């Protein structure tokens, strides 16, 4: 590493000063002077990009990256020069570019224009700023939609839609797929040896697109069904077509299920699986291009697998196209934000990159200190990178009222200074064990199939009525006690990731229990693991049909019980746990008939007074069943009763809303609330971020953070 002076030359300063007021100029001087006190991170050589095998030697290991998402399209050379000067002055060492810009690279089919982008890449390199090159396969340019109408989305009512907004592409269309892959090939070849290149990303926010219902889509769906089921007879059985005279005589009678309803769950689940496979296949094709042209450059894509419009099964497929997890980070609350981030990490041992990161938030213009707080909470969630969305406030388009770091008149806002502070602090933290490495001892199951099957379209569907607490909420409820106790938890698909590395696995409201997942749970418990399963779980098989065997299906013997009756209490359920009455929020409960299992806690105010929690020894391990929905008021005490027995180490004690982790002997505290908080500590400690000494207690202001020596 070597010292690099962080300053603007006179011309650059005059350019900025001409576009700013006195307050902004003073603020700019402050953050430039502050940033000049630190070393810029040396540009790390691109390490070999590992497949998602959890290899610890990830690119940029031992570094933290702070920067922004930058769209230079339409900016003059002078503006770009000034923009990069602001980035450098703020201490940014990474930017993400290229996303949403297909037309600018390929204004007509096969005609590629890179010279304009070459100059920007060169200037980034000259200023010590690395680049994530985002392959802009979404959205497609208008010439593609016009020339290849098969790429246009068709509604379930047969209406072809023009590309009126982002992500209105039929990504299963072979012409679209061919052209998107061709763009990726051209870009990766052209920039393969550019010194600024750090990583590549694919198809910004893929998953947030639309399902399509064209005749060609129907043909592709039928071909997919043929490959999956092999015969119409097998399909009839999987879709339960014997009900209400829905039997199929041949493949030609199949129509695309309605994504917006009506219709039963079984074909709808396969429809969503089909589109998930189309998404995954598109990502695999792009990653094949990377492996061919950029084998030493990692894939760090801004994906959106839980998008409501379509989504895809990320946790069963990410190892095929992800070097390490990334996402756009737009938090609402700490628990759900962290859960979402960890879902994109899966079972990887590598860090998370926030390819888009909240810049202010909390209103159009934002709240001071908010981004800094979330950046530090991101460190708790294994973050290595935060890139503000966005550098420029957009004057038009779909996000014109969303303020970036630089205002609409090109004036640097206070957010530039805040991200400069984050960059300066992250340079300190990079030498103190961040991004942090930790292998979670507990895991929480998440199933794309259960998420889809428990929320089918159509008002008449009884599955939706069955679930009082939505599946995604139950997964979050299982995560919340661990997060509150400052314990790391992995979010995994139990049928696709090894369970052996975890001391405890929680399966919360997992309605669909396919054979592969059931076998994994069985083997895990048999070999000594501990599983907690909650009510609503293992009711239906991989075809979304209820089991005709004792419930929980495929696992009744593992849990040593069976249940076929469930009720809804007319008052809050009460359960005695460790001598204290705990009240539930979901009135659903199941009557457990215990075979080999032993009762651990009972319902106090139900007519049956049946077991609320039962424990069964199976093989070398134990299977625990909670006979109601996953909810923190019941799961929290149950989990905490297992920590000592399973040697699960609880994290630092913190008041509500404050989260902490110990990293290399130091403790990072983050107050996610707007209220001051006091944390009890032992002895006297130096605050590395503030330079203050604390004795007996640590005072954190609203959104306050501190690292105690």
pLDDT 10s digits, 642-660: 999 999 999 999 999 999 9
Per-residue pLDDT at 419 exceeds 60: yes
Closest CA to 318 of 534, 531, 492: 492
Q: How is residue 305 annotated by DSSP?
A: T
Pairwise CA distance, residues 508 & 503, whole Å: 16
pLDDT of residue 499: 98
Residues 6+ apart with CB under 8 A from 83: 70, 72, 75, 391, 392, 406
Does 226 have pLDDT greater than 80? yes
Q: Which residues contact 527 (CB under 8 A, 6 or more apart)?
A: 500, 619, 620, 621
Instruction: Identify the residue whose tokens are 């593609």.
Output: 144
CATH 3.40.50.410 fits 442-646, yes or no: no
Beta bridge partners of 202: 135
Express each pLDDT in 136-165 by its tens digit. Answer: 999 999 999 999 999 999 999 999 999 999
Give the pLDDT score at 58.
59
Specify the fold of 10-38+59-137+196-209+274-286+297-429: TIM Barrel (3.20.20)
357-368 residue pLDDT tens: 999 776 667 899
Residues 87-135 pLDDT 10s: 999 999 999 999 999 999 999 999 999 999 999 999 999 999 999 999 9
- Would you call 302 exposed, middle or buried from its count of C-beta atoms within 10 A (0-12, 13-18, 19+)? buried
CB atoms within 10 A of CB 199: 29
Residues of the chain with pLDDT > 70: what percent? Answer: 91
- Mean pLDDT calculated for residue range 41-60: 43
Q: What angle do CA 43, 318, 175 make, to 5 degrees?
A: 95
Q: Residue 328 — pLDDT band, cuts 50, 70, 90? A: very high
In this predicted model, what pLDDT tens digit does every residue of 546-595 receive, in sequence order?
A: 999 999 999 999 999 999 999 999 999 999 988 899 999 999 999 999 99
706: pLDDT strictly greater than 90: yes
Per-residue pLDDT of 607-654, as tens digits, reads 999 999 999 999 999 999 999 999 999 999 999 999 999 999 999 999
List, in order, residues 6 or more apart from 329 with CB less than 8 Å away: 337, 341, 354, 356, 357, 358, 374, 378, 386
- How many C-beta atoms lie closer than 10 Å to residue 70's C-beta? 27
pLDDT digits (tens, 9 = 90+) for 237-259: 999 999 999 999 999 999 999 99
Crossing angle for the helix pair 414-429 and 370-380, to the nearest 10 degrees: 30
How high is the mean pLDDT of the chain? 91
User: What is the predicted pLDDT for the residue at 57?
Assistant: 55
CB 586 within 8 A of CB 467: no
- Is residue 463 scored above 90 in pLDDT? no
pLDDT value of position 363: 62
CA dihedral 145, 148, 150, 151 (to 10 degrees): -40
List where CATH 3.20.20.80 sits in the chain: 10-38+59-137+196-209+274-286+297-429
pLDDT on residue 579: 84
Least confident of 262-276, 305-319, 453-467: 453-467
Residue in this structure with the two tokens 């640590």, named with its chain if needed: 698
pLDDT given at position 362:
63
pLDDT of residue 364: 64
Residue range 658-708, CATH number: 2.60.40.1180
Q: What's the confidence (pLDDT) of residue 460?
A: 63
pLDDT on residue 12: 39
- Give me the pLDDT at residue 223, please: 98
pLDDT band at 27 (very low <50, low <70, confident <90, very high): very low
pLDDT higher than threshold 50 for residue 6 = no
- Structure pTM? 0.91
| Cβ count near 653 (within 10 Å) | 12
The confidence score (pLDDT) of residue 283 equals: 98
Q: Which residue has the higher pLDDT, 154 or 29?
A: 154
Residue-wise pLDDT for 195-215, tens only, equals 999 999 999 999 999 999 999
Query: What value, to the nearest 5°, has the Cα angle with vertex 187 and ends 91 and 103?
Result: 90
How far apart CA 80 and CA 101 sit, in angstroms, is: 16
Helix axes 10-18, 22-35, angle to 10 degrees: 140
- What is the location of CATH 3.40.50.880 in the chain? 442-646
Mean local confidence (pLDDT), 220-232? 98
Q: Per this entry, what is the length of the chain? A: 709
449: which DSSP letter? H
- How would residue 62 be classed by pLDDT, with cut points 50, 70 and 90? confident
330-360 per-residue burial string, b: 16 or more CB within 10 A, e: under 16:
ebeebbbbbbbbbbbbbbbbbbbbbbbbbbb
């Amino acid at each position: 590493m070597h010292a690099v002076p962080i300053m603007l030359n006179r011309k650059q300063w005059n350019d900025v000063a001409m576009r700013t007021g006195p307050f902004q100029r003073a603020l700019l001087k402050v953050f430039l002077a502050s940033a000049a006190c630190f070393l810029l991170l040396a540009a790390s050589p691109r390490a070999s990009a590992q497949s998602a095998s959890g290899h610890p030697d990830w690119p940029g290991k031992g570094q933290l990256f702070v920067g922004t998402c930058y769209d230079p399209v339409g900016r003059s050379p002078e503006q770009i020069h000034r923009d990069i000067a602001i980035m450098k002055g703020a201490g940014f060492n990474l930017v993400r570019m290229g996303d949403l810009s297909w037309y600018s690279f390929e204004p007509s089919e096969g005609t590629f224009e890179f010279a304009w982008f070459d100059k920007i890449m060169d200037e980034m390199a000259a200023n010590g700023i690395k680049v994530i090159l985002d392959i802009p396969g979404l959205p497609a340019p208008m010439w593609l939609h016009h020339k290849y109408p098969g790429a246009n989305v068709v509604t379930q009512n047969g209406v072809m839609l023009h590309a009126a907004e982002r992500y209105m592409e039929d990504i299963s269309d072979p012409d679209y797929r061919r052209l998107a892959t061709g763009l990726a090939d051209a870009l990766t070849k052209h920039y393969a040896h550019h010194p600024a290149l750090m990583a590549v990303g694919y198809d910004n926010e893929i998953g947030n697109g639309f399902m399509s219902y064209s005749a060609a889509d129907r043909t592709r769906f039928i071909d997919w069904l043929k490959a999956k089921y092999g015969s119409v007879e097998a399909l009839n059985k999987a879709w339960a077509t014997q009900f209400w005279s829905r039997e199929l005589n041949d493949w030609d009678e199949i129509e695309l299920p309605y994504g917006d309803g009506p219709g039963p769950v079984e074909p709808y689940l396969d429809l969503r699986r089909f589109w998930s496979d189309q998404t995954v296949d598109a990502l695999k094709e792009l990653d094949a291009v990377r492996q061919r042209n950029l084998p030493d450059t990692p894939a760090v894509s801004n994906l959106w697998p839980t998008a409501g419009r379509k989504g895809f099964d990320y946790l069963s497929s990410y190892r095929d196209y992800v070097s390490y997890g990334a996402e756009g980070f737009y938090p609402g609350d700490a628990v759900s934000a962290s859960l979402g981030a960890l879902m994109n990490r899966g079972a990887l041992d590598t860090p998370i990159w926030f390819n888009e990161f909240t810049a202010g938030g909390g209103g159009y213009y934002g709240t001071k200190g908010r981004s800094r707080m979330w950046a530090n909470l991101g460190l708790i969630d294994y973050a290595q990178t935060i890139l503000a969305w966005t550098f420029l406030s957009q004057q038009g388009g779909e996000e014109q009222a969303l303020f970036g770091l630089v205002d609409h008149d090109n004036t640097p806002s206070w957010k530039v200074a805040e991200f400069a502070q984050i960059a300066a602090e992250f340079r300190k933290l990079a030498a103190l064990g961040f991004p942090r490495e930790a292998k979670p001892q507990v895991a929480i199951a998440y199933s794309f199939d259960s998420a889809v099957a428990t929320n089918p379209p159509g008002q008449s569907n009884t599955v939706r009525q069955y679930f009082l607490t939505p599946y995604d909420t139950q997964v979050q409820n299982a995560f919340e006690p661990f997060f509150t106790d400052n314990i790391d938890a992995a979010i995994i698909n139990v049928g696709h990731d090894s369970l052996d590395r975890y001391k405890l696995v929680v399966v919360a409201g997992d309605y669909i229990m396919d054979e592969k997942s059931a076998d994994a749970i069985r083997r895990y418990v048999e070999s000594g693991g501990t599983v907690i399963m909650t009510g609503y779980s293992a009711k239906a098989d991989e075809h979304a049909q209820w089991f005709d065997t004792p419930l929980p299906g495929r696992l009744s013997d593992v849990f040593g019980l069976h249940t076929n009756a469930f009720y809804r209490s007319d008052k809050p359920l009460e359960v005695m746990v460790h001598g204290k009455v705990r009240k539930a929020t979901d009135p659903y409960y199941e009557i457990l008939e215990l075979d080999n299992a032993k009762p651990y806690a009972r319902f106090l105010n139900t007519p049956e007074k049946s077991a609320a929690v039962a424990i069964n020894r199976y093989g070398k391990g134990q299977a625990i069943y909670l006979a109601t929905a996953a909810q923190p008021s019941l799961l929290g005490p149950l989990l905490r009763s297992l920590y000592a027995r399973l040697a699960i180490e609880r994290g630092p004690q913190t008041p509500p809303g404050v989260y902490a982790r110990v990293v290399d002997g130091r403790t990072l505290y983050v107050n996610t609330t707007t209220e001051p908080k006091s944390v009890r500590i032992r002895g006297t400690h130096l605050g590395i971020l503030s330079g203050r000494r604390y004795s007996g207690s640590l005072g954190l202001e609203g959104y306050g953070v501190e690292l105690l020596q």
